[in-house]
């Protein structure tokens, strides 16, 4: 069955009406690398911009096996049943290679995917981290315009993906397992410092006591770290994504308190503003980089100049000057 072609207005109206099929197709447009799609997608985004910004933007990270998906399923289903509209997105740079290691398989969130108020979208595959970031941010905006009031952005800790997700959400959650001792040693440096909360998962059955010990260990370490958000102290909590215990308490008493307080004291407004501005400047650096390395003059002379530097025939500073002169002319 051939799909009917949609105009920019079709997309905009469909998204604003909350049509999931059209939302899906608009995201596909954003994810496309074809320039004609790019231009159209930008028109759509430009038109839906005034309807964005009204959701809670929540990032969720944790090592594979920490139970992120189970947690998102339990939390998302509960929120949908309360009448919320929940979008679940993913940022996974490795999906270029593995073709979608997170959220790739919708059956992993079977219950949530049956909720009419839920929208689940796997990580776009292909392209650079910059491309992935643009696609994810723009997808988030489309979901907001479509009326989703809670956006959960899941990521695995590959490359710079945590920083990327942190740079597009209000609240950033780190999900961990018990047995922190070993895990902490292997944990990627700096991730704890990005988190607004640490949630020790699988606090159920025999594991409950260990989860409390782990929580205390994280609390101890948190004392030594910089805070992720001004006027907010990051703490560790426990929950069980499996039994559901602790999840809604956490949502109510931590996440919602954070959001309310953050909007009241201006921290979140400022964060979103800074996020947008620095996104603009990150994209500019990328474009400059591409302009330079795709410039025919540079492509032609780069190798030779590089050789001369390596062989000590040309100083590094003069090499740079020569290359920049070629580029600027």
CB of 255 to a second copy, least distance (A): 24
**Residues of the shown chain interacting with a second copy in the complex, contacts defined by CB under 8 A:** 42, 45-46, 49-50, 52-53, 134, 137-138, 185-186, 189-190, 224, 273, 276-277, 279-280, 283-285, 287-289, 291-292, 306, 309-310, 312-321, 323-324, 327-328
**By three-state DSSP, how is residue 312 classified?**
coil
* Residue with smaller CB distance to a second copy, 26 or 103: 26
* Residue with smaller CB distance to a second copy, 106 or 300: 300
Using CB atoms within 10 A of its CB, is residue 238 exposed (0-12), middle (13-18) or buried (19+)?
buried
CB of 66 to a second copy, least distance (A): 19
CB of 118 to a second copy, least distance (A): 26
CA nearest to 32, candidates 104, 155, 127: 127
The DSSP secondary structure of 168-208, one letter per residue, reads: T-SEEEEEE-S-HHHHHHHSPTTSGGG-SEEEE----GGGH
Distance CA 89, CA 121 (A): 5
CB of 231 to a second copy, least distance (A): 22
CB of 241 to a second copy, least distance (A): 28
* Residue with smaller CB distance to a second copy, 233 or 276: 276
CB of 322 to a second copy, least distance (A): 10
Strands 150-155 and 118-120 turn out to be unpaired
Using CB atoms within 10 A of its CB, is residue 326 exposed (0-12), middle (13-18) or buried (19+)?
middle
CB of 113 to a second copy, least distance (A): 29
* Residue with smaller CB distance to a second copy, 242 or 279: 279
Output phi, psi for 246, to 5 deg.
90, -20
CB of 35 to a second copy, least distance (A): 11
CA nearest to 151, candidates 78, 56, 231: 56
Strands 86-91 and 171-176 turn out to be unpaired
CB atoms within 10 A of CB 209: 11
* Residue with smaller CB distance to a second copy, 38 or 242: 38
Distance CA 175, CA 73 (A): 14
* Residue with smaller CB distance to a second copy, 253 or 290: 290
List helix spans (H) across the chain.
Answer: 8-16, 20-31, 35-48, 68-81, 95-98, 110-113, 129-145, 161-166, 180-186, 208-222, 247-250, 256-264, 267-293, 296-310, 316-328
* Residue with smaller CB distance to a second copy, 103 or 151: 151
CB of 247 to a second copy, least distance (A): 31
On the CB side of 274, CA atoms within 13 Å amount to 10
* Residue with smaller CB distance to a second copy, 3 or 185: 185
* Residue with smaller CB distance to a second copy, 3 or 317: 317
């Amino acid at each position: 069955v051939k799909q009917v072609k949609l105009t920019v207005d079709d997309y905009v109206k469909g998204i604003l009406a909350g049509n999931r099929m059209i939302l899906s197709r608009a995201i596909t447009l954003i994810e496309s690398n074809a320039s004609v799609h790019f231009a159209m997608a930008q028109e759509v985004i430009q038109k839906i911009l005034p309807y964005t910004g009204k959701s809670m933007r929540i990032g969720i990270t944790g090592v594979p096996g920490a139970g992120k998906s189970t947690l998102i399923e339990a939390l998302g289903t509960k929120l949908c049943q309360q009448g919320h509209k929940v979008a679940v997105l993913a940022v996974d740079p490795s999906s270029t290679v593995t073709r979608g290691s997170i959220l790739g398989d919708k059956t992993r969130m079977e219950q949530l995917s049956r909720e009419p108020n839920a929208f689940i979208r796997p990580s776009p595959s292909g392209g650079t981290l910059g491309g992935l970031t643009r696609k994810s941010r723009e997808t988030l905006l489309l979901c907001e315009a479509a009326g989703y009031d809670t956006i959960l952005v899941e990521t695995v800790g590959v490359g710079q993906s945590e920083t990327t997700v942190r740079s597009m959400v209000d609240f950033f959650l780190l999900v961990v397992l018990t047995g922190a001792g070993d895990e902490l040693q292997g944990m990627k440096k700096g991730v704890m410092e990005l988190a607004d909360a640490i949630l020790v998962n699988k606090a159920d059955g025999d594991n409950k006591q260990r989860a409390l010990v782990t929580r205390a260990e994280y609390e101890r370490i948190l004392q030594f770290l910089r805070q992720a958000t001004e006027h907010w102290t990051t703490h560790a909590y426990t929950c069980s994504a499996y039994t559901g215990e602790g999840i809604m308490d956490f949502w109510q008493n931590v996440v919602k308190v954070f959001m309310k307080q953050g909007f009241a004291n201006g921290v979140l407004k400022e964060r979103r503003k800074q996020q947008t501005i620095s996104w603009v400047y990150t994209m500019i650096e990328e474009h400059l980089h591409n302009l330079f390395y795709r410039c025919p003059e540079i492509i032609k002379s780069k190798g030779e100049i590089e050789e001369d530097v390596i062989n000590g025939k040309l100083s590094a500073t003069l090499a740079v000057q020569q290359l920049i002169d070629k580029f600027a002319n």
